[in-house]
Structures are given as structure tokens and as C-alpha cells.
Amino acid sequence: MLFKAMSFQPLSAIGPSMVTWALKLHLPIGPIIRKTIFSQFCGGESIDQALISAGHLARQNVRSILDFAVEGAQSEESFARTVAELENVIKISSSHAHVSFAVFKPTGITRFALLEKVSRGEALAKDEASEWELASQRFQNLCTLARKHNIRIMIDAEETWIQPAIDQMCETAMKIHNGNQAYVFTTVQLYRKDGLARLEQQYNAAKAGGYHFGVKLVRGAYLIKERERAKARGLDSPLHSTKKATDHEFDQALRFCVNHLDHMSICAGTHNDSSTLHLAKLMADRGVAKNDSRIEFAQLLGMSDNLTFNLAHHGYNVSKYVPYGPVEAVLPYLFRRAEENTAIRGQVSRELSLIESEIQRRRSN
Ligand SMILES: Cc1cc2nc3c(=O)[nH]c(=O)nc-3n(C[C@H](O)[C@H](O)[C@H](O)COP(=O)(O)OP(=O)(O)OC[C@H]3O[C@@H](n4cnc5c(N)ncnc54)[C@H](O)[C@@H]3O)c2cc1C
């Protein structure tokens, strides 16, 4: 029912603003969200609850990436709170063998507008310069703490116009922490026209710098926002114009990575069946063991369980992002999941069609 509701386009289109308004008016919709979309896509409201979800996954040999999914914070106090929570996650994760990575979003620890200004290469005012200094320190401290606790850490990729600042901080952290092994993982989005070139260039920089390159490969989550911004500014879209081109680029990136495993480790963050199969085949062709520690598959909690559990069953390293946080604070994350599961061009979403065919299969047994 949940996936059917999300795939109904008019509801998905107005749902986020309805929910936002209802919460502003203090209407009692929290329990409804908690029992539906939240329980499908989130591991809980606190780290303890997320660890219980991680424990369930561990029984099926699936590891977890505890993701404090609070977004949209703007004040220094909320950034400091997020950093404290992330530090806690790193420390706790290190004592749970079934937690594979720590993760964070740069906009969770610093202002979007500041990342944008740094990305444009503009001169910063004095107070902005000290704010940037603090943000960079927070970023580096999280990576240092993860290394100290022997837990790998991934940094999510965000909008193209703030990514140069994020890349700069990731590169610094990788130089410091990734010797013969990757502790810090950056993210490359292959829906970008320059995705593959960026991947190769970052790999080459790591190789030349004598450190291991850690990268999460994803297609990219901000398709609509990126296109709207480019259109509004009369710019060429930075993204591929077709899904087919993105798919091709993603699979090329997987090939590049498997061919260069000597100096890199990867996490393939995808729900796409054919890319997953493609990676498994590349590994088999190159004689890479299914459980090679340099390759991790990952899906989001509540999505593509068919891939996650089958990969685990066949001995691959596979993790779920387990987002958690107070219901109201994780709404932007939940809205993105709803948007992803909307019917596109009259086709039901992938999750819905998988669920429907499984129900059909069970009925006919
Ligand atoms: C573990 C994990 C971590 C993630 N971390 C990040 C992150 O750090 N940053 C981030 O941005 N995203 C992240 N994502 C989300 C990811 O980028 C995708 O949005 C999502 O996984 C859907 O893509 P897919 O590979 O699963 O495959 P599919 O569902 O087959 O592909 C959907 C994707 O294809 C692309 N696409 C769709 N239509 C078009 C079109 N017309 N033209 C061009 N491209 C198109 C878009 O990127 C879209 O999201 C993560 C996903 C996972 C599973």
C-alpha cells in the first residue's frame, strides 16, 4: 500500500508540502509517518534503535552503515550537535563488526552557502574564513576519529555547485589517512557528464600521491534540482541527458575500478539490477574473490532487498544504509525516497513491481 501510494504521482507531488504544513500546524501526523514511510526507510529515531535494525540485518550477513539522516540544519548549534552525534556513531560503530562504514553529509556539518562560495573560488570575508576553518576542522576531525577507531568513513556527494569544496576536503583527508588501505571514501556521481573523468582524475591523483583511493560510486540523487537550476540560469545541464547515458557511465566506472583495484577500494551504491550483476561479473572475470575487502555493494534500507539479501547469501560484502533520526528531521530524506518511487512515464516503480511480482509468485505456489 505504501509503495502504491508513493507511485501515485499527484500524491507524491503534493505530499511533501502537505506533510510540511501539517507539521507546522501541529497536526498529529507524526504517528502516521512513523508507522508508514518512516518505518519502511528508517532504522529508528535514535542510534540505539538503528543498532537494533542493524542487528536484524546482521543475522542475514548484511552489514550496516548507520546514517544520521538529519538534513537542512542551518545554525552552528545544530552543526555542532550533528558532529557530536557523528562522533558517537563512529565510536559505537567501531565495536560492532556488522557496521561497515560511518558516513556523513557535508551539509550536515556546515552551511550550504559557504560550501557554495568556497566552490566558486570566491574570496571569503573574515568571519566566513573562520567559519570555513571550523568546517574544515570538523570534517578532518571526523575522519581522524574514524581512522583512530579503525572504521572506514564515507562522505556523501551533493549538488554540483558545492561539490568542489567537498572534493577538496575529501582529497585532504584521503592524503592523510589512506596509506595502503582506504579509510576515507569520497563519492563520485556518474549522472554527471564529467563523472568518469573526475573518477579517473581523482584516482590518478591518489596514485601519484602514494595513497589508496576510496570511492563510493552512485548515479546521483539531485537530478531534478540540478536540471531546474541549469535551466533557470540558461546553463548547459551538468548531467547526462538520458538515463541510458548515466547507466553506461556508471557501468564504465565500475569497469575502471575493478581494473584498478591495486590502488583503490570501492563501494557500489546502487539499486540497479544490471549494474549489480555487471559488477559481480567483472569480479568473476578478473578473478576477484566475492568477499574481497576492496569491494562493497550497498543499498538503502527499505529498497532493493532482493539485491541485498541475494548478494549476502552468495558471499559478497554488502551493506545497507540505515538512516535514523527524529521523524521531523529526516523528512527531506524521506521525501527523496518518495520521489524515487514515483511512477515514471506510467510505469510502476521498481520496488512496487518487485513486490507485486513476489506476491503473485507466492499466490501461485
Ligand atoms: C548506498 C547508497 C548511497 C548513496 N549515496 C549517495 C550520495 O552520496 N550522493 C548522491 O547524490 N546519491 C546517493 N545515492 C543515491 C543514488 O545517487 C541514486 O539516486 C539512487 O541510488 C538511484 O540510482 P540507482 O543506481 O539505484 O539506479 P536506477 O534506479 O537505475 O537509476 C536512477 C538514477 O539514474 C539517474 N537518472 C534517471 N533518469 C535520468 C535521466 N533521464 N537522465 C540522466 N540520468 C538519469 C539518476 O541518477 C537516478 O537517481 C546513494 C544510493 C545508495 C544506494
| Poorest-pLDDT segment among 117-126, 325-334, 347-356 | 347-356
Residue 262 Ramachandran class (φ > 0 left, ψ -120 to 50 alpha, else beta): alpha
Q: Which of 215, 239, 216 is nearest to 226 (CA)?
A: 239
Q: Which residue did the predictor score with more confidence, 247 or 345?
A: 247
Say what the pLDDT of residue 143 is: 98
Cα dihedral sign for 325, 74, 86, 205?
A: positive
Q: Whose alpha carbon is nearest atom 37 of ligand 1?
A: 243
153: CA distance to ligand 1 center in Å?
20
Say what the pLDDT of residue 20 is: 81
- Cβ of 189 closer than 6 Å to ligand 1, yes or no, is yes
Residue 292: strand, helix, or coil: coil
Looking at residue 353, its amino acid is S
pLDDT in tens, 30-83: 888 889 899 999 999 999 999 999 999 999 999 999 999 887 778 889 999 999
- Which of 30-34's residues contact partners 24+ apart within 8 Å by CB, and which partners? 30/327, 30/328, 33/327, 33/331, 33/334, 34/327
pLDDT in tens, 82-108: 999 999 999 999 899 999 999 999 999
- How many CA atoms does the CB half-sphere of 101 hold within 13 Å? 33
pLDDT in tens, 289-302: 999 999 999 999 99
With 80 as the cut, is the pLDDT of residue 352 above it? yes
Confidence of residue 182 (pLDDT cuts 50, 70, 90): very high
- Cβ of 240 closer than 6 Å to ligand 1, yes or no, is yes
Q: Which residue did the predictor score with more confidence, 38 or 14?
A: 38
Q: What is the mean pLDDT of residues 311-333?
A: 94
Say what the pLDDT of residue 337 is: 86
Say what the pLDDT of residue 343 is: 63
Nearest atom within ligand 1 for CA of residue 275: 25
- Cβ of 180 closer than 6 Å to ligand 1, yes or no, is no
Say what the pLDDT of residue 212 is: 97
Confidence of residue 347 (pLDDT cuts 50, 70, 90): low
Confidence of residue 328 (pLDDT cuts 50, 70, 90): confident
95: CA distance to ligand 1 center in Å?
31
Q: Chain-wide mean pLDDT for the chain?
A: 93
221: CA distance to ligand 1 center in Å?
5
With 70 as the cut, is the pLDDT of residue 346 above it? no
262: CA distance to ligand 1 center in Å?
27
- Cβ of 300 closer than 6 Å to ligand 1, yes or no, is yes
Confidence of residue 348 (pLDDT cuts 50, 70, 90): low
Q: What is the mean pLDDT of residues 260-284?
A: 97
308: CA distance to ligand 1 center in Å?
16
Provide the 8-state DSSP code for 127: H
Q: Whose alpha carbon is nearest atom 33 of ligand 1?
A: 219
Beta strand pairing call for 318-324 and 213-218 = unpaired
- How many CA atoms does the CB half-sphere of 183 hold within 13 Å? 22
Say what the pLDDT of residue 342 is: 76
Say what the pLDDT of residue 17 is: 82
Residue 95: strand, helix, or coil: coil
